[in-house]
């Protein structure tokens, strides 16, 4: 992948209040977390991820979750133009 990763911007920004200003987590991280919950809840996907050569199960699952997140961001971008 070349160029910067589209992180979708902040998912839950807090912009008011002197002590509360925080950009929030990225939308990409939020989407990956949601995908991760589904992957971890699906026993069969965990087994598939454990069979990836030269990679631990957590690494394979994390890669899958971020690929899902990137696909969601790409689809979101396509639909924003409609």
Q: Do the domain assignments include residue 63? A: yes
Report the C-alpha gap between 66 and 58 in whole angstroms. Answer: 12
**pLDDT digit string, tens, across residues 24-60:** 788 999 999 999 998 888 877 667 766 777 777 788 8
Residue-range definition of the domain harbouring residue 72: 27-80
Contact present, 12 and 50 (Cβ < 8 Å): no
Percentage of residues in the chain having pLDDT higher than 90: 27
Q: Do the domain assignments include residue 67? A: yes
The number of domains in the chain is 1
Q: Do the domain assignments include residue 14? A: no
DSSP reduced 3-state for 9: coil
Q: Do the domain assignments include residue 17? A: no
Q: Do the domain assignments include residue 7? A: no
Q: Look at residue 1 and tell me whether its pLDDT is greater than 70.
A: no
Q: Do the domain assignments include residue 22? A: no
pTM of the complete model: 0.70
pLDDT for residue 70? 95
């Amino acid at each position: 992948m070349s160029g910067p990763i589209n992180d979708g911007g902040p998912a839950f920004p807090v912009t008011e209040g002197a002590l509360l200003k925080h950009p929030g987590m990225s939308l990409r991280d939020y989407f990956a977390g949601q995908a991760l919950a589904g992957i971890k809840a699906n026993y069969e996907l965990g087994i598939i991820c454990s069979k990836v050569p030269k990679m631990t199960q957590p690494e394979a699952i994390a890669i899958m979750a971020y690929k899902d997140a990137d696909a969601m961001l790409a689809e979101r971008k396509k639909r924003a133009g409609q």
